[in-house]
Structure 1
């Protein structure tokens, strides 16, 4: 599963999740080194 930055930089994190516990799309605040600050990363399918 990919987490894509909402800052529009194209930076992604790769992670895994348990689809039974969280069937909806994941959104986490993580560090984007391109803009050098924390932004929201949303799950891309």
Structure 2
């Protein structure tokens, strides 16, 4: 896979400090900046913000 892929695989790291991550793909043309999504962190037992981690 080339580095200029339009849909790169990114890691979403929990801001709760649990070290839990989701792995997803994103469209670089639609979301050029870092993504922040609220998802469920099973280690924290609640929904927290997940930030994109390159």
> Could you state the TM-score of these two structures normalised by the residue count of structure 1?
0.97
Q: CA RMSD in A?
A: 0.4
> Could you state the TM-score of these two structures normalised by the residue count of structure 2?
0.82
Distance in 1, matches of 2:13 and 2:23, equals 9
> Structure 1: which 5+ runs fail to align?
none
Deviation at 1:16, TM superposition (A): 0.2
Aligned length: 45
> Structure 2: which 5+ runs fail to align?
1-9
Query: Partner of 1:18 in structure 2?
Result: 27
